[in-house]
């Protein structure tokens, strides 16, 4: 019930901009792009809608601002790739969970995935992200025929993302990271290096 009514600047030095950005991230993560309204973000930050426009311009701009996260997939994957194919499945999964379980970046990543799957931004993943970023990284880890193995790895990882972070089915959320690594890691390893039927 923090009744905020008066016009003009607030006393003190509150970082209102950061609050708005956090509210936007949370809303984009939970409701997706279309489901998020500027008014709702403003209300959740205890602020007038016009202020959102003042800081971040249009709604699209707000969205890309909310997706700004300090994680470059190629950089994160580099050490995993450098260590070679032995035990790559578990290493891959461990670093992956290290990023996704970080509460600092999780909302932005979930928002990104939600938008990819609800709106037709799917093309971005389909045509650019996987072939350009993920594909080459995994390609040096697979035994052979990467065009057949990479999609399998991706499918299991995507399933993990959706069940653990997007839909958040309870047993998957409750599972400790190391347990996920121990149970799914071998499957990734299997997709990467075992003989294909």
Q: Which residues bind its own copies (CB under 8 A)?
A: 30-32, 34-35, 114, 116-120, 122, 125-126, 130, 147-148, 150-152, 154-160, 162-164, 166-172, 175, 182-184, 186-187, 190-191, 196-197
**Angle CA(101)–CA(119)–CA(133) in degrees, nearest 5?**
55
Q: Between 20 and 59, how does the x/- string for binding to DNA read (CB under 7 A)?
A: ----------------xxxxx-----xxxxxx-xx--xxx
CA dist., res. 143 & res. 139, Å (int): 9
**Phi and psi, residue 71, nearest 5°:** -145, 120
Which lies closer to DNA via its Cβ, residue 33 or residue 191?
33
- Angstrom distance (rounded) from CA 108 to CA 112: 6
Binding mask 122-141 for DNA (x = CB under 7 A): --------------------
CA distance 94 to 138: 15
Residue 85 interacts with, from its own copies, DNA, none (CB under 5-8 Å by kind): none
Partner in contact with 169, chosen from DNA, its own copies, none, beta carbon below 5 to 8 Å by kind: its own copies
In angstroms, the first-to-last Cα distance of the chain is 62
Rank residues 40 and 99 by Cβ distance to DNA and give the closer one.
40
Shortest spacing between CB 2 and DNA, in angstroms: 10
The rounded distance, in Å, linking the Cα atoms of 24 and 4 is 19
């Amino acid at each position: 019930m923090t009744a905020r009514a008066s016009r003009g600047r607030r006393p003190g030095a509150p970082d209102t901009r950061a609050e708005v950005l956090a509210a936007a991230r949370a809303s984009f993560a939970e409701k997706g792009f279309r489901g998020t309204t500027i008014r709702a973000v403003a209300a959740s930050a205890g602020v007038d809608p016009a202020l959102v426009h003042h800081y971040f311009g249009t709604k699209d701009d707000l969205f890309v601002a909310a997706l700004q996260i300090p994680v470059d997939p190629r950089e994160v994957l580099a050490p995993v790739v450098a260590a070679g194919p032995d035990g790559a499945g578990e290493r891959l999964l461990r670093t992956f969970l290290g990023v996704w379980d970080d509460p600092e970046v999780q909302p932005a990543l979930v928002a990104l995935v939600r938008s990819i799957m609800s709106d037709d931004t799917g093309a971005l993943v389909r045509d650019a992200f996987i072939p350009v970023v993920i594909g080459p990284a995994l390609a040096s880890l697979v035994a052979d025929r990467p065009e057949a193995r990479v999609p399998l790895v991706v499918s299991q990882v995507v399933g993990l993302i959706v069940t653990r972070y997007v839909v958040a089915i309870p047993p998957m959320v409750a599972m400790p990271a190391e347990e996920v690594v121990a149970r799914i890691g071998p499957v990734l390893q299997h997709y990467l290096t075992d003989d294909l039927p």
